Amino acid sequence: MGKFEENATNRLFEKQLIDKEQMDQIAAYRRLNIFSVNTELKLFLYLSVLLFTSGIGILIYENVDSIGHIAILSLLLIVTVICYYFSFKNAVGFHKQQTYFENPLFDYLILAAILLSCTFIGYLQFQYGTFGTHYGLATLIPTAIALFCAYYFDNKTVLSIAITGLAAYIGLSVSPQALLNNDFQQTDSLSYSAIALGLVLIIWSIYSTKIDLKKHFNLVFSTFALHLISISCINNLFEPYWGVFIILLAVCCYYFYTVSYSLKSVSLFVFTILYTYFGLNFLLFKIIDLINIEDLMIPFSFLVPFYFIGSIILFIRLIKKFNKNNADDSIQ
């Protein structure tokens, strides 16, 4: 990292964007080895919110008989209202561009409020059947609240909760364990729903960019859309109509390849490359299976290790190129 920063400073000097004195000041500052603990503090705040909301859930589960349902709901409601009160009181209000709380603590306070709202509404439905047989409302209402709060308070974490709730409402479970074990991999209709949701997220991100509405949310939308569409396509590659989905996967990966550069997101770029690699390998094996080259299987198996080694080298080179291009763009 030190070498990279030094090279970046030298390029700034060569482009005459800074003078010799400024370059010496930058070098002197870096020699102080001052580092920020901002990320670590935010991580602890995030963990504290998760532990607090989880603790309330455990308290409800273990003491529901002794405390009583009304008392538990009242406690949940009071704490939730307090969180919302201080969040709205200290918010700067809704703006189309990115906004911040003066104190980042309130970002985690609104996160706690959303999680407690989900717990409160879920408890109402489970214990009293408030929404009757309309079980989706118990998911849709917290999702709507989270979506409103995400835009009002400009909170990406809350936005992720809202998108997850929307996926759950249409029948999807987007946790890693669910993707591996539940009906998502067994029901075609869920795959189609996932693709449709991914396309909606893409369309909304494009429209948001056009009207300049929270454009920094596009990374969240793109990340969810990439995983939903790509995993759904891969899920259907083992069906007789796999050709349609290999084309859709190719179009999807090309789109997110360009988006990753525009958003300068290395995570989006890496996952796009991985999904592309899986699709190319699947297509390669399909071609080999169709050609039926049994006589060439021995030399082909000999080349497989070199193929994977070459793939790893190419992957590393692509990552380096991506980082270099982003670094050059930030300097210009």
Residues 5 and 82 in one domain: no
Section 99-128 average pLDDT: 86
Same domain, 203 and 96: no
What is the predicted pLDDT for the residue at 209? Answer: 92
Percent of the chain surpassing pLDDT 70? 83
- Last residue of a domain, which of 129, 153, 169? 169
Least trusted range by pLDDT, from 96-110, 146-160, 200-214: 96-110
What does the angle CA 266 – CA 268 – CA 271 come to, to the nearest 5 degrees?
105
Q: Which of 112, 139, 169 is the last residue of a domain?
A: 169
Choose between 4 and 284: higher pLDDT: 284
Considering only residues 302 and 320, tell me which one the structure prediction assigns the higher pLDDT.
320
* Local structure of residue 172 (DSSP, 8 states): -
**Would the pLDDT of 151 be above 80?**
yes
Q: Residues 226, 220: contact at Cβ < 8 Å? A: no
pLDDT level of residue 248 (50, 70, 90 thresholds): very high
More confident: 137 or 301: 137
Determine the residue type at 92.
V
Number of folded domains that form the chain: 3
Lowest-pLDDT range of 27-41, 99-113, 308-322: 27-41
In the numeric block, the tokens 């985690």 are attached to: 108
Q: Which of 96-105, 204-213, 260-269 shows the lowest per-residue confidence on average (mean pLDDT)?
A: 96-105
Classify 213 as helix, strand or coil: coil
Within a domain: 300: no
Residues 116 and 165 occupy one common structural domain: yes
268: exposed, middle or buried (Cβ count in 10 Å: 0-12, 13-18, 19+): buried
Confidence of residue 302 (pLDDT cuts 50, 70, 90): confident
- In this structure, the answer to whether residues 156 and 267 fall within a common structural domain is no
Q: Residue 134: pLDDT above 80?
A: no
Mean pLDDT of all residues in 176-181: 49
Structural domain contains residue 217: yes
Q: Are residue 29 and residue 10 in the same domain, yes or no?
A: yes
> What's residue 276's pLDDT?
94
Please tell me the least confidently modeled range out of 21-25, 208-212, 224-228, 297-301: 297-301
| Same domain membership, residue 135 and residue 59 | yes
| Mean pLDDT calculated for residue range 230-241 | 86
Cα(first)–Cα(last) distance of the chain, in Å?
19
Q: Is residue 251 part of a domain?
A: yes
Of residues 179 and 251, more confidently modeled: 251
**From its phi and psi, is residue 154 left (phi > 0), alpha (psi between -120 and 50) or beta?**
left
Residue 108 contacts residue 49 (beta carbons within 8 Å) = yes
Q: How far apart are CA 309 and CA 32, in angstroms?
A: 41
Backbone Cα Rg of the chain: 25
Burial group, residue 122, by CB count within 10 angstroms (0-12, 13-18, 19+) = middle
Report yes or no on 96 lying in a domain.
yes
Q: Is the pLDDT of residue 119 over 70?
A: yes
Same domain? For 259 and 212 the reply is: yes
Q: Give the pLDDT confidence score for residue 254 in this predicted structure.
A: 95
68: left (phi over 0), alpha (psi -120 to 50) or beta: left
Q: Are residues 159 and 231 in the same domain?
A: no
Residue entry with tokens 């991985």: 274
Question: Of 137, 169, 201, which residue constitutes the final position of a domain?
Answer: 169
**Cα dihedral across residues 121, 125, 126, 127: positive or negative:** positive
- Verify that 138 and 53 share a domain, yes or no: yes
Q: What are phi and psi of 170, to 5 degrees?
A: -90, 5
Task: Determine the length of the chain.
Answer: 332
- Per the CB < 8 A criterion, the answer to whether 87 and 106 are in contact is yes
**Among the ranges 57-61, 255-259, 285-289, which has the highest mean pLDDT value?**
255-259
The range of the structural domain enclosing residue 104 comes to 41-169
Q: Helix (H) and strand (E) counts for the chain?
A: 13, 0
Residue 4: pLDDT band (50, 70, 90) is low
Average pLDDT over all residues of the chain: 82
Check whether 297 has a pLDDT greater than 80.
Answer: no
pLDDT at 266 over 60: yes
Are the C-beta atoms of residues 116 and 80 closer than 8 Å to each other?
A: yes
Give tens-digit pLDDT for 183-197.
444 556 778 888 999
In a domain, 113, yes or no: yes
Q: Do 59 and 147 fall within a single domain?
A: yes
Quick check: is 327 in a domain? no
The per-residue pLDDT for 74 is: 86
Whether 228 and 281 share a structural domain: yes
| Number of other residues whose CB lies within 10 A of the CB of residue 50 | 14
Q: Tell whether the model's pLDDT for residue 331 goes beyond 50.
A: no
C-alpha triplet 55, 145, 225: angle, nearest 5°: 95
CA 73 to chain CA mean position, Å: 31
> 230 pLDDT exceeds 70?
yes
Residues 231 and 123 in one domain: no
For residue 103, tell me if it sits in a domain: yes
Is residue 83 domain-resident? yes
